[in-house]
């Protein structure tokens, strides 16, 4: 077994939304290593999405520490936060969050446009590569409204991986999909993990959770068992 390096480390991490007292995340400790596949289960309102937002650097951590790739997130400048979001994190949402006025290809270009390492001439090639991966190559010129829910989610996955991030955060990716389509999505996630991506998945479906290497249960902002 190869020595895996640590991707995420939470130490006594807390979080409250601005202007509220409630600790949505309550002194969490967690380590996620590279190429791990973690599923987080929990009732609605238990703080799963909030945890994901903090992990994805969308919400800043409260008390405690969050180390991402060895960096203390609190110490990071705005610029490095933006850089990490762009290069190291891919987000998948329950409601896809595609830009409806842009074509599939243009949607894929959005994260590329904030990545100065990739020249514009490479966009087409990059996009085709990830679309191939999710099996959507023939739809690249469609608008999101011309796609089914499952197809939209596949595009969203393609967008999440286009900058080749090490971490993929998925917030109930199958929540809006029928079970057959959901199956397809989880297959893609499985492949991504096998290809070396670290995945942190939120789901309410215990069946899909079992595909993960580890299952965590969150309740009122605390982990109740480590699997």
Please give the residue ranges that form the binding site for ligand ADP (CB under 6 A): 17, 20, 24, 42, 44-50
CA dihedral 48, 206, 187, 128 (to 10 degrees): -20
How many Cα neighbours within 13 Å face the side chain of 50? 25
Is residue 179 within a helix (H) or strand (E), and if so which, with residue range?
Answer: helix 179-194
Residue 100 structure tokens: 């409806």
Residues making contact with another protein (CB under 8 A)? 18, 49, 53, 56, 58-59, 78-79, 82-87, 91, 93, 95, 97, 99-101, 110-111, 114-115, 159, 163
CB-wise, 160 or 215, nearer to another protein?
160
Cβ 161 to another protein shortest distance, Å = 12
Residue 146 structure tokens: 């011309």
CB-wise, 40 or 156, nearer to ligand ADP?
40
CB-wise, 48 or 197, nearer to Mg ion?
48
Q: How far apart are CA 159 and CA 96, in angstroms?
A: 10
Select from Mg ion, ligand ADP, another protein, none the partner in contact with residue 126, using the beta carbon and a kind-dependent cut-off of 5 to 8 Å.
Answer: none
CB-wise, 24 or 215, nearer to another protein?
24
Residues in the chain: 227
Residue keyed to tokens 């966009």? 123
Q: Is 49 in the site for Mg ion (CB under 5 A)?
A: yes
Cβ 114 to another protein shortest distance, Å = 4
DSSP 113-167: HT-TTS-GGGHHHHHHHHHHHHT-GGGTTS-GGGS-HHHHHHHHHHHHHTT--SE
Build a one-symbol-per-residue string for 8-47: x at contacts with Mg ion by CB under 5 A, - elsewhere: ----------------------------------------
Cβ 29 to another protein shortest distance, Å = 23
Residue numbers at the binding site for Mg ion (CB under 5 A): 49
């Amino acid at each position: 077994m190869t020595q895996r390096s640590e991707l995420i480390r939470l130490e006594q991490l807390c979080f409250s939304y601005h202007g509220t007292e409630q600790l949505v995340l309550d002194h969490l400790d967690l380590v996620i290593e590279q190429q791990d596949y973690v599923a987080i289960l929990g009732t609605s309102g238990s703080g799963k999405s909030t945890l994901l937002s903090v992990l994805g650097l969308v919400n800043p951590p409260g008390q405690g520490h969050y180390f991402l790739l060895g960096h203390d997130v609190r110490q990071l400048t705005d610029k490095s936060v933006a850089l990490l979001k762009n290069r190291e994190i891919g987000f998948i949402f329950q409601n896809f969050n595609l830009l409806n006025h842009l074509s599939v290809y243009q949607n894929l270009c959005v994260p590329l446009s904030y990545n100065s390492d990739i020249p514009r001439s490479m966009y087409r090639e990059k996009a085709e590569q990830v679309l191939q991966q999710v099996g959507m190559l023939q739809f690249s010129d469609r608008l999101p409204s011309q796609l089914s829910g499952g197809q939209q989610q596949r595009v969203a996955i393609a967008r999440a991986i286009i900058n080749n991030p090490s971490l993929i955060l998925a917030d109930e990716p199958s929540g809006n999909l029928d079970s057959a389509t959901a199956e397809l999505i989880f297959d893609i996630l499985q492949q991504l993990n096998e290809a070396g991506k670290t995945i942190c998945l939120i789901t309410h479906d215990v069946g899909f959770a079992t595909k993960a290497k580890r299952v965590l249960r969150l309740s009122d902002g605390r982990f109740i068992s480590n699997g």
